[in-house]
Amino acid sequence: MLSQMASEAPFAGGADGPFAGLPAGADARVVWAPAKVNLHLEILGKRADGYHAVETLILAIDLFDTLEVRDDPSGRLTLACDPPGLPTGPANLVYRAADALRRATGTTRGAAMRLVKRIPHEAGLGGGSSDAAAALAALNRLWGLNLTRAGLLAAAAEIGSDVGVFLSPPAGWCTGRGEVVEPETVGAPLHLVVVKPPVGLSTAEVYKRVTVPARPVNGDAVRAALRAGDAQAAARGLHNRLQEPAFAAAPVVESTYHRLAACGPLGCLLSGSGSSLFAVCRDGADAVRVATEFRVGAPPNELSSQVFVVRSYWPMPR
């Protein structure tokens, strides 16, 4: 079982922690789960456990799902989702996070949970993983478990490779299969346009198509640019080894990429395994311009994409 380490403070997970959660009475909390983009993603090799070894720089953005959790003294775990039709049992990472936290700590507390989805799925934006991290942080506080960040990271690794990075926004450098997280600082907010094409992509299918490079691309330059808050340098350093396999799996993603790049941002990239793309912009006004040009420039026969004007998530008061 996980327990609080004496040398670490309990993980807050509230207004003073990574999720700007609010109490909703004595026995409930509301938390916001941010999406993410990958400014760098390199494949280092294939591991013995079947996963790929990766290095990736993940940046949280201010596109959010909302999770409400309420203590249930009966000990039951229940989940409702909006929109309807989403899985509400173990297939949903929120449910799995709550169950993993109970098994890891031995608590018998229950929770009634409600998830409002805004982050597109099969999009490479990490919505499911962020929802799971939000559940871990909220329930840790609601149930009075007092787990440290290290304790929550151990539970997160059981749920999914990139769940842990959402426990340390606004950014993280992730290695291993993605579960080893080194928090990163962000020198200034980055302004972005995120485009979700009218198709989703299977992570497993994209990884099947990837070739491990003989000489991996180093991510030091983009990490330094992020710390400095230098959007131009960050755009120059963008890299995603999964981009070409994703383009091969779904040509509409490639054509959408070229349309977005033609709008003149500082740089464009696929996020994660796709299908979403993002553009790094000069400032907020430039992001609005890029998004507008992309929307009005759509060919008449093109299925519509979802377009979001966002900036990097800034969890502390400005």
- Res 314: pLDDT: 74
For residue 106, being part of any structural domain is answered with yes
pLDDT over threshold 90, residue 170: yes
pLDDT at site 19: 56
Catalytic choice (36, 65, 71, 196): 36
130 is in an annotated binding site: yes
Domain annotation covers residue 78: yes
| 202: pLDDT strictly greater than 50 | yes
**Is 105 inside any structural domain?**
yes
Q: How far is CA 278 from CA 36, 176, 232, in A?
A: 10, 25, 14
User: Could you tell me the residue range of the domain that residue 76 belongs to?
Assistant: 22-184
Q: Domain check: are 42 and 157 in the same one?
A: yes
Cis peptide before 197 (omega within 30 of 0): no
pLDDT at 17 over 80: no
Question: Quick one: 43 and 175 in the same domain?
Answer: yes
In a domain, 17, yes or no: no
Which of 136, 156, 184 represents a domain boundary (last residue)?
184
146 found inside a domain:
yes
Give yes or no: residues 178 and 211 share one domain.
no
Q: Nearest 5°: CA angle at 221, between 293 and 275?
A: 40
pLDDT at 66 (0 to 100): 96
Same domain, 169 and 80: yes
The answer to whether 265 is annotated as binding is no
Q: Are residues 32 and 139 in the same domain?
A: yes
In a domain, 158, yes or no: yes
Domain match, 243 and 265 both:
yes
Among candidate residues 115, 150, 184, the one where a domain is terminated: 184
Q: Which residues are CB-neighbours of 130 under 8 A, at least 6 positions away?
A: 33, 34, 35, 36, 60, 65, 119, 166
For residues 30 and 177, state if they share a domain.
yes
| Residue 121 labeled ligand binder | yes
Residue 3 has pLDDT above 50, yes or no: no
Q: For residue 27, what is the domain's CATH number?
A: 3.30.230.10
Q: By the 8 A CB rule, do 312 and 57 touch?
A: no
Q: pLDDT tens digits for 43-69?
A: 999 999 889 999 999 999 999 999 999
Q: Is 36 designated active site? A: yes
The residue from 131, 162, 196, 286 that is catalytic is 162
Residue 304 assigned ligand-binding role: no
Domain match, 261 and 167 both: no
Boundary (domain end) residue, out of 150, 184, 218: 184
Q: Is residue 254, in this structure, part of any structural domain at all?
A: yes
pLDDT value of residue 169: 86
pLDDT of residue 315: 61
Percentage of the chain lying above the pLDDT 90 cut: 85
Average pLDDT of the residues in 145-164: 91
User: Do the annotations mark residue 120 as ligand-binding?
Assistant: yes
Number of domains, the chain: 2
**26: confidence class by pLDDT, cuts 50, 70, 90:** confident
pTM for this prediction: 0.92
For the segment 75-121, what is each residue's pLDDT rounded down to a tens digit? 999 999 999 999 999 999 999 999 999 999 999 999 999 999 999 99
Q: Residue 54 domain-assigned?
A: yes
Predicted confidence at residue 136, as pLDDT, reads 95
* 31 and 167 belong to one structural domain: yes
Percent of the chain past pLDDT 70, that is, above it, reads: 92
Q: Is 162 a catalytic residue?
A: yes
Same domain for 102 and 243, yes or no, is no
Question: Which pLDDT value is given to residue 23?
Answer: 78
Q: Mean pLDDT in the chain?
A: 91
- Per-residue pLDDT, averaged over 147-169, amounts to 91
CATH number at residue 262: 3.30.70.890
Same domain, 176 and 295: no
126 annotated among ligand-binding-site residues: yes
Residue-level pLDDT at 50: 86
Q: Give the separation between CA 179 and CA 154, rounded to whole angstroms.
A: 9
Selected residue with higher pLDDT from 284 and 14 = 284
Residues 52 and 153 in one domain: yes
Q: How far apart are CA 272 and CA 240, in angstroms?
A: 7
What pLDDT does residue 290 have? 98
pLDDT for 25 equals: 79
pLDDT tops 90 at residue 188: yes
Which pLDDT score is estimated for 227? 97
